[in-house]
Amino acid sequence: MRVCITVLFAIFLISGCGGGSGGSDNSSPLLSLRWDPVTTNIDGTPCDDLAGYRLYYGQGSRDYTDFLEVDNQTTTVTLTLSGGQWCFAVTAFDTSGNESDYSNEVCTDI
């Protein structure tokens, strides 16, 4: 039986915006993250059983305290986060529940 574990090479496009013009100062910054979709498995074969992605994030490098699971069609996520440093990585998982290693990590200050 072949176990298919997907590999993700992530590219993040990070843009922060927040505050606002006039009015309340209570709004939290929005952060948009985008990654390239998975197309192949670690062995180079086509990835035909991708189930989705997990976006891991936290306020320290490789110290992820939360994750967001999205379907296999989603490659962009927007989060509302408090100020400070945030670090992110993505994994891909297949229909059997196998999960790839973390993608490259991206950290930014908000």
104: in domain? yes
pTM: 0.77
CA–CA dist 17, 47 (Å, integer)? 35
| Residue environment code for 83-99, b if the CB has 16+ CB neighbours within 10 A, otherwise e | eeebbbbbbbbbeeebe
34: in domain? yes
45: in domain? yes
Structural domain containing residue 85 = 15-109
Instruction: Judge whether residue 82 has pLDDT over 80.
Output: yes
28: in domain? yes
- Report the pLDDT value the prediction gives residue 83, as an integer from 0 to 100: 84
CA–CA dist 60, 76 (Å, integer)? 22
CA–CA dist 82, 18 (Å, integer)? 10
Task: Report the percentage of the chain scoring pLDDT > 90.
Answer: 28
CA dihedral (63, 67, 72, 73) positive or negative: negative
pLDDT digits (tens, 9 = 90+) for 25-66: 556 778 888 888 888 888 888 888 999 999 999 999 999 999
